[in-house]
Amino acid sequence: MAATRSGIKRVPADTDIVAGRAPAIWAVAHQTRRCLALRAAHRRDSPCSQIPRLAKSNFPKELPVAETVASLLAGHQSGTIAVSDTISRTFRRLREANDPAIFISVRDEAAVLEEARALAARDPATLPLYGIPIAIKDNIDVAGLPTTAACPAYAYTPKADAEAVARLRRAGALIIGKTNLEQFATGLVGARSPYGMPRNALREDLVSGGSSSGSAVAVARGIVPLALGTDTAGSGRVPAGLNNIVGLKPSLGLISTTGVVPACRSLDCVSIFALTTEDAFAALSVMAGHDESDVFSRSMQLGPLSGIQPALRIAVPRPADRIHFGDAQAEAAFATAIEMVRGLGAVIVEIDLTPLFETARLLYEGPWVAERTAAVGAFIAKHPDAVHPVTKAIIAPGADKSAVDTFSAFYKLAAYRGVASKMFAGFDTLMVPTFPRPVRAAELVADPIGPNSGLGTYTNFVNLLDLAGLAVPTTLAADRTAHGVTLLAPSGRDAFLASLGATIHDRSGLPLGALDAPPPPWTAPAGNIAAGEITIAVVGAHLSGMPLNHELTALKGRFIAAAETPPDYRLFALNTDVPKPGLLRVASGTGASIAVEIWALPAEGFARFVDAVPPPLSIGTLRLEGGRAMKGFLVEAEAVRDARDISEFGGWRAFMASR
């Protein structure tokens, strides 16, 4: 890397953007099995325990250490790990990676160390990312570092940070440098950059994925524990899946895009790469929030991580829609993931993805291409020779889209969103493969378009339909091919997806990224109630997995915990057209303990939910075992006069199962 007069190190351009030829990546040690043996022992009943892990191979004398955000933060705040030592290790690992295509520019190490020392004057307890080194995709502004969007002729040096970066800095994060990407964030393979193609962290012959290629590889190889990317059509999820790490694509507008070079401005998201879901969510918690300078920013409550409710309804593609382009290993990996979540107690629902696939066609066949043209079309017209030919071929046709084309597409999208809304009302989350199959770098020589399009099969429709997404690893084969799943849910359910994703990733027992290190244990937080939330105890059709549970989730409701009442209640099957129970308070000790679930709702959602409760049900004060009181469903005494007493079943779910 050559130092410039500004002190910023620039990575030299590399014209070999496809082959990515360089020394082999760190081999993964055979000790992985031994490191994970105890962790896997309690998962013998999981299909993951039957999947081949990483193969034996030679490995460096000094094994890489997986430093997560959580572990570094604990060390920094307690004083057992010096922030300056963390930064020194970060720069050493960057040099040892020996891949000049990961970063486009790198900050001067001495300058970052000076910032690390300056942190000592601040209270670590007030900084949620105290001393955490972070990499930033080079279409996101960092003050004083050039923003190139992987096009040297486009480069400019911003005076201010992007809003997302500014919030990370205020939380105590330290910026290391700007990572490589596919030019103007257009592509999913990671090859369309004059700065080279970052090598896949696990297999050198596979593409690293794009467009946020450098950010994904930097995290997977342990250079930094956290990196920012962007995700408009899968640019955050696909490279995460190909490199065995977590890729969090937040709800549209949850993270500000002020200071981000636009691709499709109405669909762009700042995404997060991390070794664990907990780490990614920590960064999301710091960056989330309304930004008045961003017209697409939205005010929505994030909420904390929480436990996973029983009997989740998880939708998966029906067999006809499980597209893997003939890759048997990929097909088996997704089947394994299905069994994994089934082992968590989830109910699997197979659905037809045709409406989602039809929506995806609008992204590149419809007028949304014109958004890319609006963003950089004028620059391309003035500098045609400075733009990658494939990127130019994708963006240029947007100028031919008419207003009629645009409104026709808007009408189609509105119809698709209506269909999708009804679909998602029938389950808690949709789980799809993150990508159909991995792509070899050599394939791009013969066909630079086809493999890229294939990688977007399960990603292109997501932002058009205003969904939140989270990609998590699930399997790692003996040939070091990573596969994972993406969890999708309506906008605003980011905390729910992160809670479920953390549980699934924990269940997989996989090593972190490309490192020979077992994952840290994940324990779901118990009873986290966010400010402004109100708890409610539900007893019947609103229980998780039951027909009316969607009324809670649609109002941003979150499962908190399963609970029971003391033996002071009796449960009745009411004589109504739709089966529903009634919970009636009786004399102390003369009833039965009845199973309930505790959910939390934002205050506005709680008000709307209570207003819609029909008689003879009502919301009153319920007592739980242990004496805790909260709002919950009760029934009028008159309504149970001729109803069947079903208290012996101990709850509505057990009663319905008996039928």
DSSP string, 619-630: EEEEE-TTS-EE
Q: Is residue 515 part of a domain?
A: no
Write the CATH number for 190.
3.90.1300.10
648-658 tens-digit pLDDT: 999 999 999 88
In the block, which residue shows the tokens 């779910």?
Answer: 653
- How many domains, the chain? 2
642 falls within a domain: yes
Specify the pTM: 0.83
- For residue 43, what pLDDT is reported? 38
Query: For residue 545, what pLDDT is reported?
Result: 83
Q: What is the 3-state secondary structure (H, E, C) of 306-357?
A: CCCCCCCEEEEECHHHCCCCCCHHHHHHHHHHHHHHHCCCCEEEEECCHHHH
Q: Do 178 and 318 belong to one domain?
A: yes
pLDDT tens digits along 126-138: 999 999 999 999 9
* Bridge pairing between strands 629-635 and 617-623: antiparallel
pLDDT at 164: 98
Same domain? For 250 and 194 the reply is yes
| Cα 233 to Cα 192: distance, rounded to the nearest angstrom | 16
Over residues 481-536, the pLDDT tens digits come to 999 999 999 999 999 999 999 999 999 999 999 998 888 888 877 667 878 899 99
pLDDT tens digits, residue range 316-345? 999 999 999 999 999 999 999 999 999 998
Q: Using the Cα atoms of residue 72, residue 496, residue 418 and residue 610 in order, give the sign of their dihedral.
A: negative
387 and 288 in a common domain: yes
At 3-20, the pLDDT tens digits run: 442 344 444 433 332 222
Q: Which residue has the higher pLDDT, 306 or 222?
A: 222
Q: Which of 49, 54, 48, 545 is nearest to 337 (CA)?
A: 48
Is pLDDT at 351 greater than 50 in this prediction? yes
pLDDT of residue 160: 98
Domain match, 435 and 539 both: no
Integer angstrom CA distances of residue 102 from 150, 177, 240, 305, 610: 12, 10, 14, 32, 52
Assess whether 49 carries a catalytic annotation. Answer: no
Instruction: Note whether 180 and 102 are within 8 A (CB).
Output: yes
Q: Distance between CA atoms of 176 and 634, rounded to whole angstroms?
A: 56
Describe the chain by its helix, strand, coil percentages, rounded to 5: 35, 20, 45
- Statement to judge: residues 296 and 434 lie in one domain: yes
Q: 446-476 pLDDT, tens per residue?
A: 999 999 999 999 999 999 999 999 999 999 9
Asked if residue 78 is part of any domain, the answer here is no
Domain-embedded: residue 600 = yes
pLDDT for 524 equals 76
Average pLDDT estimate for 69-77:
95
User: Which position among 193, 211, 499, 508 bears the catalytic label?
Assistant: 211
Mean pLDDT calculated for residue range 303-327 = 92
What CA–CA distance (Å, rounded) separates 423 from 356?
Answer: 10
Claim to verify: residue 492 and residue 423 sit in the same structural domain = yes
**CB neighbours of residue 62 within 10 Å:** 7
Burial 157-186 (b: 16+ CB within 10 A, else e): ebeebbbbbbbbbebbbbbbbbbbbbbbbb
- 593 and 635 part of one domain: yes
Q: Is 297 a catalytic residue?
A: no
Q: Is residue 496 part of a domain?
A: yes
- DSSP for 518-579? PPPP--PPSS---TTEEEEEE-STTSTTSTTHHHHHTTT-EEEEEEE--S-EEEEE--SSS-
Residues contacting residue 369 through CB under 8 Å, at least 6 positions apart:
363, 394, 395, 397, 398, 401
373 and 239 assigned to the same domain: yes
Pick the more confident residue, 446 or 352: 352
Report pLDDT for 274. Answer: 98
Average pLDDT for 47-51: 34
Could you give the percent of the chain with pLDDT greater than 90?
A: 75
- Contact call for residues 545 and 318 (beta carbons, < 8 A): no
Separation of alpha carbons 630 and 170, rounded Å: 37
Of residues 19 and 601, the one with the higher pLDDT is 601
Closest to 476 (Cα-Cα) out of 516, 498, 508, 440: 508
Contacts of 405 (CB under 8 A, 6+ apart): 366, 367
Q: Is 284 within a domain?
A: yes
Residues 35 and 107 in one domain: yes
Does residue 211 have an active-site annotation?
yes
442 touches 224 (CB < 8 A): no
Q: Are residues 593 and 631 in the same domain?
A: yes
The answer as to whether 62 is a domain residue is no
Query: Which residue is catalytic, options 9, 46, 137, 212?
Result: 137
Shared-domain flag, residues 192 and 241: yes
CATH code, domain carrying 648: 3.10.490.10
**DSSP SS3 for 514:** coil
Options 193, 208, 235, 491, the catalytic residue: 235
594 and 487 together in one domain: no
Reply yes or no: is the peptide bond before residue 306 cis, omega within 30 of 0.
no
Residue 311's pLDDT is 84
Q: In which domain, by residue range, is 568 found?
A: 533-658
Residue 208 domain-assigned (yes or no): yes
